[in-house]
Amino acid sequence: MAAAVRFLPLLSGSTPFVFTLVLLLVSSPAFLIVIGTSAGGMPALTRLVAQLPATLPAAVLVVQHLAPESTGEPLVARLAAHTALHCQLATHEAPLQAGTIYLAPPDRHLLTRDDRLLVTKGPRENNYRPAADALFRSAAVAFDSQVVGVVLTGMLHDGTAGLDFIKRCGGVAVVQDPEAAEFPSMPESALRNVAVDYVIPLDQMGALLVDLVSGSTPSHKSIPHDLQVEAAIAERVMGNTEQVSQIGHQVPLTCPDCGGNLWEVNEGNVLRFRCHTGHAFTADALLECSQHEMEETLWVALRMMEERKNLLTSMASRGEGQWSMQQEERIEEIKRHINRLREFLLSGSENGNPMAEKK
């Protein structure tokens, strides 16, 4: 484990503006452990970090999906109450230190470069900020084979592509046993799409992580060019068409977040898409977005049909003879369309998926 030397100026005694240089030895981590979790994450994290010793030769970086308006400090305090590791909310340009847990702030991506943290408000990935995929990719590019990626309990798909990034750079992928996870969706997604190295119950995970980061440092592995490009896009907050064209080909789909064109990423084992502004999606996340957009569009269509019916009813009440009968026929026709659309929307909602296909 290497030792990095930093000089920090401190105000000296009672003499103002006189500074003293204090030599601090800071333990630079030999490994990174990166963790992604969502629903049910805090109880799982507290159980996991309680198993990690203060002498852990790794820094632990955590993405827990949080509401944008929330604060991470209570969560840091909760973690600190269960572990011997130092816990803190990640801050921009802070040095990485072994034996420390860094929690991503709400509504910010947590990245790393050159043994330092980067905290940015870049575009969402899989509709999340912070996103586990963004952290995992950044860690894999910065530390290659010296990264252990962990996916815990949570809903949907974040972390799946991230584990693939880590594996492609020579790192290790660990997933909580979905049968024991409070919300198994994230672990199950990872297992479906990535060659995971370890699937393990939470109570046994701490010992495994300690073992993985306590051995000899693995040999470095070359970083795939596409991951370097994507990491650079995330660090600069916004990409451009030239960059995204290097790693993918344009497809006839639009970004649900900004309405721009999407590119299908050429490399990797997980089907993914990016727009040139920086939004990124796995295929599953993009499908989820399109379902929500389609449902919203159909509710708008239902509202417009109801308004048209009301207008026709008012017109028919003021007319006479053949013209009035024609409006009545049009009213009956639009009522049939309204009933079909309402039945489709309501039956889908009752099935738990508003856009579930009717059999």
Active site positions, annotated: 38, 65, 158
Helix axis angle, 73-80 relative to 41-49, nearest 10°?
Answer: 40
Residue 116 three-state SS: strand
Cα gap 140→145, rounded to integer Å: 7
Cα gap 160→158, rounded to integer Å: 6
Helix axis angle, 41-49 relative to 202-214, nearest 10°?
Answer: 50
Q: Helices marked H in 194-264 — which ranges?
A: 202-214, 225-235, 241-247
Residue 305 three-state SS: helix
- Nearest C-alpha neighbor of 247 from the set 277, 261, 268: 268
Cα gap 280→285, rounded to integer Å: 9
Cα gap 22→112, rounded to integer Å: 26
CA Rg, the chain, in Å?
Answer: 26
Cα gap 117→36, rounded to integer Å: 16
Contact status, residue 268 vs residue 161, Cβ threshold 8 Å: yes
Q: Which residue has the tokens 């400090």?
A: 73
Contacts 24+ apart (CB under 8 A), 24-27: 26/95, 26/97, 27/1, 27/2, 27/3, 27/57, 27/97, 27/98, 27/99
Output the six-digit token pair for 114. Answer: 């050159």
For 92, the enclosing helix (H) or strand (E) is none
**Most distant CA pair in the chain: distance in Å?**
99
Cα gap 103→101, rounded to integer Å: 7
